[in-house]
Amino acid sequence: MAEALTAHPYWWNSLTPARHARRGQAQQLAYDLGAALAAARSEETSVSLSDAVGATLARDVHALCPVPHYASSAMDGYAVRGPGPWRVVTADTSLHDAASTADLELARGEAVPVVTGGVIPTGSDTIIRDEYALRSGAELRFDRSRPHSELEGRHARPAGTECGSGETILTAGTVLSPADVAFAAVAGVDELPIVPAPAVRLLLTGSEVQGSGIPAPGFVRDAFSPSLPPILAGLGARVDQDSVHRIPDEADAFAAAVERAVAEGVPFIVTTGGTARSRADHVRAHLERHATPIIDELDLQPGHPTLFAAHPAGTAILALPGNPLAAFTALTVLAVPFLRGMLGQPAPTSHAVRIAHDIQGARRERLVPAFQHADGAWSPCRDIGANMLRGLSRADALLSVPVEGLVAGARAEALALPWKPVAGKPDLVTDNP
């Protein structure tokens, strides 16, 4: 795929890079970066309905027939024409199949048995359900002790009640649900155009990182290999057996891993660690030389040293800090809108929440793991340092604490964690970011 992008080496040119980006600005830039990359790659594929659930629709889909595609009965009973009594025109009094009345045309004073979902014959005025019909031989009467509204066509389903042929039934950017796929099926659609899940390559740096067991002093456990792949897959990225690579703290090894991913046409690379500006931070140094920083640091704690860069071959590279809470915070702020933009989905929204007690501000906006009390108010979790995970594991969302802090009862902004939607909780209202 990298070859196809040689005509667009500066696919991010419509964007204005930002240094020390404020959160809202960074979220919008990340979303726009994803949309720009999707436009440059122009990828679309068609899949069968059975493979479409969970995928993102690439373009609008139109009904290939009316729904329902024929006038049908909503009840077992009789289709009739004119005022009763009626003469049943078929000799067979057993249950008819759904298509048996398709070629019939009723004259005034005639009736024919129909089943639920069966074709209503041409000329029919209404449907009388079985339990309201009085039949004697070929003669049919309506039970007058029943509501007269039964004769007003309430059990007839006209063709096109749900949608007409050619009508838009699903819009681009929709994450397809089982109900969407079912609706497409009854509208005559066999395949759906989707945005392929963008492949992601995880380059996890750190010579001190240990994959199992209890680390010795000076070493740390790998918190990212088991957690980042399912998060990214849940956001719509494609994660496979070759997605996760552990890289030692060696500049040449990191450079080789990046260039391999770029050469293979991987659209999204996520790295961890090495984003500060010391001599040991080779991740930032490499990306500043070989890519264009679009978001160069966040005006945010934790996650300040994050870098989001664009590579000319059609790859976006999100470099996360090595501290776990900082990395997960930056991932929530940037990867969520980026992947939504790349998949053509709407930008993520934030949420208005009520604060339980005063919260002190700091020199930058802080995003802190927070939980919701039984009364609907919100408080920060404990253990929320940049290198900590206990607070995050108990959190319901990330709470925005502005520089000036928050007072009890105030409204504040909260961001859903990628693995824990918060919409629908009491005392939480969706707002635009």
Q: Which residues contact 287 (CB under 8 A, 6 or more apart)?
A: 293, 307, 309, 317, 319
- The Cα 29–Cα 41 span in angstroms is 18
- The Cα 238–Cα 105 span in angstroms is 55
Q: Is 201 exposed, middle or buried (0-12, 13-18, 19+ CB in 10 A)?
A: buried
pLDDT of 418 reads 95
* Whether pLDDT at 373 is above 90: yes
Q: Are residues 154 and 77 in contact, defined by beta-carbon separation less than 8 angstroms?
A: no
pLDDT of 428 reads 47
The 8 Å CB, 24+ separation contacts for 345-349 are: 345/56, 345/173, 345/175, 345/236, 346/173, 347/27, 347/28, 347/31, 347/433, 348/27, 348/415, 348/416, 348/433, 349/430, 349/431, 349/432, 349/433
Distance of CA 80 to the CA centre of its chain: 48
* Whether pLDDT at 70 is above 70: yes
Count CB atoms within 10 A of the CB of residue 357: 12
pLDDT of 7 reads 39
pLDDT of 152 reads 84
For 289-410, where are the E strands, in sequence order? 292-298, 300-301, 307-311, 315-320, 350-354, 365-372, 378-380, 397-401
- The Cα 222–Cα 253 span in angstroms is 19
The pTM score is 0.82
pLDDT band at 299 (very low <50, low <70, confident <90, very high): very high
**Rounded percentage of the chain residues whose pLDDT exceeds 70:** 93
Instruction: Give the HSE-up count for residue 226: Cα atoms under 13 Å, Cβ half-sphere.
Output: 6
**Rounded percentage of the chain residues whose pLDDT exceeds 90:** 75
